[in-house]
């Protein structure tokens, strides 16, 4: 990556005339936008001097750019792949993203393992597994998984968890579990963990599941019918009956979902509609001439972004996630990079993939169906958002009335402390703006000192009041010193606790001579303590104001606990790594940055451990052997549960 300390104007003049990826950054070093170009110099400079500089959403971004970094590649196709990977990694705010920046779930079939599992994941990787999706409706996806378990019997449980302390049985056939889990007895798993099925038969069931997810239901049914008649000829009527039931279940699902079309290709057909900054992409999935499903995805879009830009970005993000690539990607508009995307997808699929608009009547009808569904989905989403907005506004007005606040509490900050017996104490600050979480405003605090001497025992004990005092002091000190991360003051400051925590907040505000409305929400009886009132306020249990405060308080608690657990886990992991011969401070730091947890490190092979910076194969093998001792897992579990 090209980096320098030159001013932005000089960097623009010195950019290379080669293909590659560019990253725009603001004055704090945050990545604003990632793009690709066949000529980096011409493309990047066009944002400042060409037609792009006048477009509304781009002019807003350009005003924030303080730095640009570029990474050159050998070809435009390499730049396309790198752009997709970097966007997925950094999720810049000015790149087109799913609504609320959420990661939709995928179905993962771990065909890269001897006994594949069916897993729901939000982070598809290039790890040899098969990925299907994404699926916008998480609840419907979980119901689908339950159906697949009954039909195919593929495992969904992992084998390194609290119930299975002996580790994964697939690496050592002598480590089979002593008894099957409940899933096996309910006929929702073939029972590979107790050798109730051969590896060959189990893998065959997993591959049939993959074909079903690809939409190749006729092929799956043909294979099952052949196996059923073979079992009947061997007079294994029990097995034949099970296969018959499996065929009926698949046919039942297929009849409900599939619509026959006069085409035989695998097609993903897209449509896009937008209104008032909200867009919806509808995708119809056609496999082997059957319309087997549809998915819609809601996105936030900026003023002036065209359908071609949105669909191009979406298509690149979708197929970079490891999902199945169809024979035809059908679009309502031409894409600027259609030829390049086609080459990239052809390489992924292993045969020619066409990225094009509809020419025949059948394909035009398919796009029209997708567009009608997109419009309906967008209308429903906009209605839901409007109802949520009305509910939030009502809750904020109700809260203002109950607390007698001078202004509507548009910005509410809530603080919480998390600790285990005083060790690894942390604080959290969460921010809700207009009744919605503003996660970009969340802040974490490492507490430096929160101990007091207990007068009764003469021993040190954790002091939550001191911890809260430290967090609030640092927050408002940073505000007065002009730190942009703490520039805005809240309309309401909420602390988790009772009178004691309220007193701490008032004391800190008085020290800095700040006038900010404060309240404390005590969890036991959900009582609200406010200054100048002796008795706490008991809001009605069905009050929207109370529900909003509870949501904010619970979010602050979740955020604090997550940070605390991460620090506690990393401390325990550092302790474990200190015992491994050949692991010094540099290697320990590299391993922690790469894996982040013991679970991730234990799942890694010797080769994967050796690829970490500072590591080599000899040390990696020593580390792998050390980590797979049962005593290491037991010690780690004990230490991460707290002192």
Residue 634: is its pLDDT beyond 60? no
Do 217 and 250 form a contact (C-beta atoms < 8 A)? yes
Structure tokens at 176: 């089979």
Mean pLDDT check: name the lowest of 182-186, 449-453, 553-557.
449-453
Q: Which of 97-101, 108-112, 243-247, 472-476 tops mean pLDDT? A: 472-476
Residue 303: is its pLDDT beyond 80? no
Report pLDDT for 629: 67
Report pLDDT for 503: 92
Q: Which of 90-104, 132-146, 407-421, 450-464 tops mean pLDDT? A: 407-421
Strands 443-446 and 130-132: unpaired
Q: Can you spell out the DSSP letters for 77-119? A: HHHHHHHHHHHHHH--TTS-EEGGGPPPPEEEE-TTSSS-BEE
Residue 518 or residue 224, greater confidence: 518
Report pLDDT for 535: 86
Residue 475: is its pLDDT beyond 90? yes
pLDDT in tens, 90-129: 888 888 876 544 567 888 888 888 888 888 887 777 777 8
Cα separation, 67 vs 491, whole angstroms: 34
Residue 535 or residue 143, greater confidence: 535
Q: Residue 127: phi, psi to the nearest 5?
A: -120, 10
Calculate mean pLDDT across residues 35-45.
89
The upper half-sphere exposure of residue 566, i.e. CA atoms within 13 Å in the direction of its Cβ, equals 13
Do 212 and 293 form a contact (C-beta atoms < 8 A)? no
Cα separation, 498 vs 520, whole angstroms: 6
Task: pLDDT band for 190, please (50, 70, 90 cuts).
Answer: confident
- Domains annotated for the chain, with CATH where assigned, are 8-95 (3.40.1440.10), 267-379 (3.30.420), 411-563 (3.30.420.340), 579-640 (1.10.150.20)
Report pLDDT for 633: 53
Q: Which of 7-21, 456-470, 528-542 tops mean pLDDT? A: 528-542
Best CA proximity match to 332, nearest among 346, 304, 311: 311
Q: Residue 73: phi, psi to the nearest 5?
A: -130, 170
- Within 8 A by CB and 6+ apart from 255, the residues are none
3-class SS of residue 580: coil
Task: pLDDT band for 161, please (50, 70, 90 cuts).
Answer: very low
The upper half-sphere exposure of residue 410, i.e. CA atoms within 13 Å in the direction of its Cβ, equals 3
The reply to whether the predicted model has a pTM over 0.85 is no
Report pLDDT for 102: 53
Cα separation, 297 vs 97, whole angstroms: 10
Report pLDDT for 474: 92
Residue 258: is its pLDDT beyond 80? no
Q: Which of 255-259, 301-305, 338-342, 598-602 tops mean pLDDT? A: 338-342
Report pLDDT for 273: 92
């Amino acid at each position: 990556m090209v980096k320098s300390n030159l001013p932005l104007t000089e960097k623009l003049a010195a950019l290379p005339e080669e293909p590659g990826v560019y990253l725009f950054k603001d004055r704090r070093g945050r990545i604003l936008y990632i793009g690709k170009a066949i000529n980096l110099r011409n493309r990047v400079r066009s944002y400042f001097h060409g037609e792009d500089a006048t477009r509304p959403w781009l002019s807003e971004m350009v005003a924030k750019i303080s730095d640009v970094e570029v990474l050159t590649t050998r070809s435009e196709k390499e730049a396309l792949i790198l752009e997709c990977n970097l966007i997925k990694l950094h999720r810049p705010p000015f790149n087109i993203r799913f609504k609320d920046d959420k990661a939709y779930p995928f179905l993962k079939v771990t065909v890269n393992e001897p006994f594949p599992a069916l897993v729901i994941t939000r982070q598809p990787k290039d790890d040899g597994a098969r990925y299907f999706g994404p699926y916008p409706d998480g609840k419907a996806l979980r119901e689908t998984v339950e159906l697949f378990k009954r039909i195919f019997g593929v495992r969904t449980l992992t084998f390194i968890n609290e119930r299975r302390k002996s580790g994964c049985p697939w690496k050592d056939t002598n480590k089979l579990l002593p008894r099957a889990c409940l899933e096996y007895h309910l006929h929702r798993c073939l029972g590979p963990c107790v050798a109730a099925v051969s590896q060959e038969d189990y893998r065959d069931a997993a591959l049939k599941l993959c074909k079903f997810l690809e939409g190749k239901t006729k092929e799956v049914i043909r294979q099952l019918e052949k196996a059923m008649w073979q079992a009947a000829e061997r007079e294994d009527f029990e097995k034949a009956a099970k296969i018959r039931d499996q065929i009926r279940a698949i046919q039942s699902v297929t009849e409900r979902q599939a619509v026959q079309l006069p085409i035989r290709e695998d097609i993903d057909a897209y449509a896009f509609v937008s209104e008032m900054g909200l867009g919806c992409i509808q995708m119809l999935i056609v496999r082997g001439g059957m319309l087997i499903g549809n998915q819609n995805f809601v996105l936030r879009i900026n003023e002036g972004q065209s359908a071609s830009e949105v669909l191009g970005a979406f298509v690149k993000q979708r197929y970079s996630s490891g999902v199945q690539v169809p024979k035809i990607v059908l679009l309502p508009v031409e894409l600027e990079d259609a030829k390049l995307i086609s080459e990239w997808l052809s390489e992924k699929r292993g045969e020619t993939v066409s990225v094009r608009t509809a020419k025949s009547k059948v394909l035009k009808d398919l796009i029209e169906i997708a567009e009608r569904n997109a419009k309906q989905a967008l209308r429903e989403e906009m209605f839901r958002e409007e109802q949520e907005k009305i509910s939030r506004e009502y809750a904020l007005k109700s809260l203002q009335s109950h607390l007698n606040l001078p202004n509507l509490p548009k910005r509410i900050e809530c603080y919480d402390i998390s600790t285990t017996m005083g060790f690894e104490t942390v604080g959290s600050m969460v921010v809700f703006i207009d009744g919605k979480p503003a996660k970009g405003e969340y802040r974490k605090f490492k507490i430096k000192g929160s101990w007091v001497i207990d007068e009764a025992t003469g021993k040190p004990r954790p002091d939550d009041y001191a911890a809260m005092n430290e967090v609030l002091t640092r927050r408002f000190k940073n505000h007065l010193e002009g730190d942009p991360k703490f520039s805005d003051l809240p309309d309401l400051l909420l602390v988790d606790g009772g009178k004691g925590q309220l007193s701490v907040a008032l004391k800190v505000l008085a020290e800095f001579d700040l006038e900010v409305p404060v309240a404390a929400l005590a969890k036991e009886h959900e009582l609200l303590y406010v200054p100048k009132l002796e008795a706490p306020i008991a809001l009605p249990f069905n009050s929207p104001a109370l529900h909003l405060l509870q949501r904010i308080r619970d979010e602050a608690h979740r955020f604090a606990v997550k940070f605390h657990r991460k620090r506690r886990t990393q401390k325990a992991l550092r302790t474990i790594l200190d015992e491994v011969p050949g692991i010094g401070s540099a290697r320990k730091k590299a391993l922690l940055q790469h894996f982040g947890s013991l679970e991730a490190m234990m799942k890694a092979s010797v080769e994967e451990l050796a690829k970490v910076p500072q590591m080599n194969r000899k040390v990696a093998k020593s580390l792998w052997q050390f980590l797979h001792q049962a005593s290491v897992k037991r010690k780690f579990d004990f230490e991460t549960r707290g002192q």
